[in-house]
Structures are given as structure tokens and as C-alpha cells.
Amino acid sequence: MHKNEGYLGNINVKRSGVQTEWTEEQILEYKKCMENPVHFIENYIQIISLDEGLVPFKLRGYQDDLITHFDESRFSIVLACRQSGKSITTCAYLVWYLLFQPEQTIAILANKGSTAREMLARITTMLEHVPFFLQPGTKTLNKGSIEFENDSRIIASATGANSIRGLSVNLLYLDEFAFVDNAEQFYTSTYPVVTSGGKSKVIITSTANGIGNMYHKLYEGAQNQKNEYQPYTINWWDVPGRDEVWKKQTIANTSELQFEQEFGNSFLGTGNTLISANCLLGLQGHDALWTRENVHLYQEPQKDSQYIMTVDVARGRGQDYSTFSIFDVSTKPFRQVGIYRDNMISPLLFPDIINRFATMYNEALVVVENNDQGQIVCNSLHYDIEYPNVFTQSSVKSSGIGVTMTRKVKQIGCSTLKELMEENKLRVIDKFTINELVTFVGKGISFEADGGNHDDLVMNLVLFSWFVTTPFFQSLTDLELKKLLYDEQQQLIDDDMVPFGIIDDGTPTVETYKQGGDVWTVVNDDVDIY
């Protein structure tokens, strides 16, 4: 190599226009590298080791498989434990792709621009140690992009709405995608651009970062064969030197929860969600039986069933959503059977939609949060449309129609919702609602949607959960919530109960029971659990 053959003084990077005379041996080697990325990487890629400095990249078994996985899959999604080398392995594959696939554009997008540029710097280091006969000439090399003489190029940027706008991308690499803010919005706008070509590729890698985010959805979908992605998992025990002793030491220095999140590939919640992570992980979203625009129905109205609809009202300006959720309260557990969700509907038009579907579900009792715009909906339903079954707290006060979401109401609702769901007394099956639940987290002394997310459907659940604690609900359904939540524990000691007695559940209330055949019925049902 000659000094004048290097790119802008970098003698390790071949500049554009340099003519190379190849030996027959080099031609054969070039062909071998072009056909086999693993061979190329193991023989020509060098990386910087923290302990040893610049060293040849010796692929671990799972890294070898991962390279093959990338090469054979058009859409790849990787779940990897921390410090498994997923990023450096991907960078090595991208170097091979750039050198041997002409006229390709690669985009590296990460949660931070600095992270993306760091990965491009790794690629540059790898390129600098590839022999000249394997390098295409370099036309451009800077902190944000590299362009080669074979008309292939690579750019690095943070994920954002304009990251790849106007570009024709052949391979999109999304690093640590579980940590990207507004990932769903970004992915929705980016995916059609990348996949417009029939041979374009997408590679997504990340460690786990809670459930409900876009990365979690895509990975779970891949695992269940519900999308185009091919999943690949790197577990902590795949990494040499990690055994049970290492695991115990790591947990001792951190925590079991942190270990599971960082190394165990567990999609745990933030640890601050209202509903426990185990419960959230067990939720399964169902496909709607009937969908029209913003209405999703999961069960047809049943002739003898009793339904409650809870309503949250927004301004209809494209921000928060106006929502309602329909619940079947005829049997236990209670079951979510339908939802509505729209952030553009006017509060003036919303009552007509509520009336239509509440009427469909056996004139369901409609419980409306009457804060702000909710009062408009309450008044329209009650006075204008004259819907016969709107919950009214007071017939004296003008604000008595519906429910005012005070701090106390929300506290009771959140507490009861947690109990209902974790005790499997309420079945939530709507995907939009589940997505909101996983980002409904503690903020101070209350709970609300985590940054950039919504909680409008969750507030339907909170309002419903508050309502089932009221005496009105007990009289409406003849179901006693306190006993409902106590049933499973009570069943464990039923065999030891005498036919007549007193049950003390720790409250001042005394409930007396008598035996009627094989059924125990409440004699003294004056319990107020509000």
C-alpha cells in the first residue's frame, strides 16, 4: 500500500479511484468472503478488546449462528442479554454487507445519536484493518456516514420522524429498540419506507425493557409467528464464563429483579406499574369479533346478561382519547366485552355513539366521568337523548349525573382494579387497554400514563373498579364484591366450617350465613363496602 492510496491521509482506508491488481489467490479469497460472511469476519475483522486492545474477532458459537441468521432472514429481531456482544456482531455483519453488496444503503438508528455514531466508529475501525484487495474505494468517511466506490453507503442517526426521510434504505438496523422513545410512531412511519423494496432487510436488536413497548410487541409477535420477523435469543448462559456461580454473584451485587431484566431476558414491567408484572405478562389480547372504525366488540350482547359501560371524555383535538369500555357483570369474573377509542370525536357527537352501543348491550348502565367535557356528555345523554340508564349520584346537584373523578375516587378505583385483576376477578382482553396498562405507573401518590403514553382506557377500568365497590352496584347485581374477592381463600376452609356461624373478615361488619341445601346464602346482606 502506498500513502497516496489512502483516504485523506488514512493509509488504512483505500480511497476512491485506486486500481488494485489482484492475484489469482486474492480473487478466490474475495469470492469466498463474498459468499460466506462468517469466513470474512473471522479472518479479516478486528475489534478492540477492553483487556487486550486490538484483536481478531473470534466468533462465539451463538455469534456465528447470529451472523447466519442475519444473512438468511429478511426480518430479524434479536433479544439478547446485556454484554453479549450483539452490537459488535451486528456491526461486523454490516461491514461485510457494505463491502460485498453494491448499491446498498444501510441506516443505523439508535435511541441516541451518540450511540449510532459510536457504532459507525466501530465499523470504521473494522474497515481500517480489512486488506485493500477486499475494500472498495472510499468516497466519503465522517462521523455520520461512509460512502464507497461500489455505491454502497451507511448512515448513522438517532431514531426520529425525519431520520431516513427521503432515503431509499436497503437495510435498516435498529439498536436497543426497546429503549427508543415514541418507538411505535417512529416504526409505523419508517417501516413502509424500508419495506417498499422486495429485498430490503430489517435487523432489530435489544435487551428487554418492560412489556407493551413496540420492541416487546414485535418480539412476541415473532415468537408466536404472527409477523414477518425471525426471532433470535441470546441467553446469559450462552456467554462463556457465565455459570450459576456468576449468576449468584451478579444477583448479590445487584438484585434478582435487575438480573432478570438485564441478563434474564425477562420482559418485566418497570416495577412501578399499578398491576404487577406477572399479571401483566399473563394478559392476552383477543381479536375483536366486530370492528368498525373506532369500536371493537369482543362478545355479542347476551339476552340475559347485565352490562356496565364506563366513559372517559376528551376534547377531541387529536391528543387524549374519548373512550368507553363495556363490561359483562352477570358472571364472575367480570369481563371486558367492547371498547371505543377516538381522539378526534367531539363531545357533542360522542353521546350518540354511547347511546347506540349502550342500547345494543341491553341498555347498559352508563357511568360517565363528568369532569370537564364529561359534563357535556352527561347532560346530553340524560336530558337531550333521554337515555334511560345513566348513573346519577345526585338528582339535586347539577353535577350529580355521572361521577366526578376526585382523588379519593381514583385511589379507590386504582386499589380495587389492582385487586380485581391480580385475583383474576376482571378479564381484560382488549389490546389497546392492555398496552395502556403496562405503562400505567406510579407518579407521586397517584398513578398515570408514563411519558408519551395514554391512560384513557385504563381510566375506564379505574372508574368501573370504583363503581363495583359502591352499594348501588351491589343492589344492581346482587353481587357482593367483598365476598367475591374472598371466595378463593374462603373455599380453602369451607370443609371445616359448621353449618351455622359467624364469619369475621377483619372488618366491623358481621355477616351471618345459613345453609340451604348445598348452597350458602347471605341472610344479613347489609354490608357497605364503599
**Active-site positions?**
176
**Cα three-residue angle 244-81-92, rounded to 5 degrees:** 125
Mapped onto helix, strand or coil, the DSSP state of residue 224 is: coil
Return all residues near 219 (Cβ < 8 A) that are at least 6 apart: 77, 79, 229, 231
Burial of 221 per CB tally in 10 Å (0-12, 13-18, 19+)? middle
Contact 432, 339 (CB under 8 A): yes
Q: Are 187 and 155 in contact (CB under 8 A)?
A: no
Q: Which residues contact 489 (CB under 8 A, 6 or more apart)?
A: none
The amino acid occupying position 32 is K
Burial class of residue 465, CB neighbours in 10 A (0-12, 13-18, 19+): buried
State the Cα–Cα distance between residues 451 and 435, nearest whole angstrom: 14
Which residues does residue 308 pair with via DSSP β-bridges, in sequence order? 327, 365
**Peptide bond before residue 333 is cis, with ω within 30 degrees of 0:** yes
Strand order in the sheet with 501-503: 501-503, 511-516, 519-522
466 grid coordinates = 370504583
6, β-bridge pairs: 14
Render 36-92 in DSSP notation, one character per residue: -HHHHHHHH-EEEETTTEEEE----HHHHHHHHHHHH-SEEEEEE-TTSSHHHHHHH
Instruction: Please classify residue 104 by burial: count the beta carbons closer than 10 Å to its beta carbon, then call 0-12 exposed, 13-18 middle and 19+ buried.
Output: buried
Measuring CA to CA, which residue among 66, 38, 71 is closest to residue 232?
66
**Cα separation, 530 vs 91, whole angstroms:** 59
Question: Cα separation of 65 and 210, whole Å?
Answer: 26
Alpha carbons 389 and 362: distance in angstroms, whole number: 10
Q: Are strands 105-110 and 46-49 parallel, antiparallel or unpaired?
A: unpaired
How many CB atoms within 10 Å of residue 264? 18
